[in-house]
Amino acid sequence: MAIYRKGADPVALLASAERISGYSRELDAVRSHASQAVRDLRGQWGGGDLDAFVGSWPNADAGLAGCLSTFDSMALALRRNARAQHETSQGGGSPFEANPGSGAGNGSGHGGDRNPVNPTGDSDLGPYEKIGAISMADGDLEMTDIEQGQIGDCWLLAALGPIARDDPQFIRDHVTYDDSAGTYTVTLYDDGEAVQVTVDASVIENGARDPDGQPNYASIYEKAMASLRGGEYSDIDGGNSDDAFAAITGRETHSGGESSFDDIESNLKDGRLMAVGTEDDDAFWFWEDEVDDHRIVPNHAYMVDQVAEHDGQRMIHLVNPWGPDGGYLKDDDTQKVGDIWLTEKQYKENFDSTYSVSGKDG
């Protein structure tokens, strides 16, 4: 939803977003210092008087967390609107475009027939291959069973993987194979309303598959989403993972800025499923951040596995929808890894957005 009138200045919007992000960082630092001060008090002072003195802190901390979430959501919305405004006023060749094959841009889809038999794609995607029934066993419905192809739909796959890992039965309940008709029917959601999307039992050569190159649940969901969004694979080339979470589950979603480890871990413990987005490869505006770690794909969505102790440090484990072996960007000979552990500092240096939805226990 646009929050500025038509003709808004994208530079001004981005400047406002950066100011709000700055306020968020300052508030997060204050919150962290205050939490440490309360923890220190517990080591210096005991008894009922202490409990009465610090008893109000949990509610205050929750209020600060809510403010941080609001700031982050506002900043993200401003950046999205700035990008959309720039693309509207400038046309093609925008500096905001996502990298080919990354797909973390601002995709909106098109109208038209919602259930064509086969979505159309350019010649780089190759021909269609007829398939039968794919495996829907728990072991084949993991986030690590996804390998993105030549379609820029990381935003979709980074949401699909956590859903499948969390609740394989949900995937089985929402994907039906009809052997006699040679079709798959996938239940997706449009503004919370269930939509039955029927597609031919075939997959495009250079679309999403499993790490062994075999068609799997990601292949079917990718095809169904392209059908839902307009009938062309270009309709899913770029998007945001909160939209994918909503389209796959029909549930309310949340999006915001990078978030702290405390907030991410709290969301995971509450049963929420999460994806995160990286910064740009080459910041267009001087105040924008860009990816610092060459192992990480810019303008890309990753699946959140866990926040845990790793190598003696508190770290976050992220999974790349490119698959276990990762890959390479065009004109870049540095391998982008298939999964990565990062400290909180490293994470915040490379990621700028979070997306979440409630899981089966959330």
Residue ranges of the domains in the chain?
1-96, 123-249
- Average pLDDT of the chain? 82
The SS3 of residue 86 is helix
Check: CATH 1.10.1200.10 for 1-96?
no
So what's the pLDDT on residue 34?
Answer: 78
Measuring CA to CA, which residue among 230, 204, 248 is closest to residue 116?
230
Predicted local confidence at residue 136, as pLDDT? 97
pLDDT of residue 156: 98
Reported as a single tens digit per residue, the pLDDT across 204-233 is: 999 999 999 999 999 999 999 999 999 999
Give pLDDT, residue 62.
Answer: 76
Residue 115 has pLDDT above 50, yes or no: no
73-92 pLDDT, tens per residue? 777 777 666 665 554 444 43
Element holding 83 (H helix, E strand): helix 57-90
Q: What pLDDT is attached to residue 124?
A: 84
**Residue spans of beta strands (DSSP E) within the chain:** 128-130, 175-178, 183-190, 193-200, 202-204, 253-256, 272-278, 301-310, 313-319, 339-343, 351-358
Handedness of CA 333, 339, 345, 348 (dihedral sign): positive
pLDDT tens digits, 295-350: 999 999 999 999 999 999 999 999 999 999 999 988 888 899 999 999 999 999 99
Cβ-count burial 317-352 (b if 16+ within 10 Å, e if not) = bbbbbbbeebeebeeeeeebbbbbbbebebbbbbbb
* Whether the predicted pLDDT of 270 surpasses 70: yes
pLDDT at 332: 83
Summarised one tens digit per residue, pLDDT across range 167-191 is: 999 999 999 999 999 999 999 999 9
Beta-bridge partner residues of 200: 183
| Average pLDDT of span 62-66 | 76
**Is pLDDT of 198 > 90?**
yes
| Cα gap 183→180, rounded to integer Å | 8
Low-confidence winner among 202-206, 266-270, 282-286, 318-322 (lowest mean pLDDT): 282-286
> If you average pLDDT over each of 67-81, 129-143, 269-283, which comes out highest?
129-143
pLDDT at 241: 96
pLDDT average, residue stretch 55-61? 74
Rounded distance, CA 325 to CA 346, Å? 21
pLDDT over 60 (residue 8):
no
Kindly indicate the confidence band of residue 281, based on its pLDDT and cuts at 50, 70 and 90. low
Determine the Cα angle at 335 with ends 334 and 339, to 5°.
140
Per mean pLDDT, which range of 158-172, 191-205, 279-293, 317-331 is the poorest?
A: 279-293
N- to C-terminal Cα separation, the chain: 26
* Residues of the chain above pLDDT 90, percent: 58
Query: In the predicted model, is pLDDT for residue 100 greater than 80?
Result: no
- Residue 289's pLDDT band (boundaries 50, 70, 90)? low
Measured from the Cβ of residue 166, the count of other Cβ atoms closer than 10 Å reads: 20
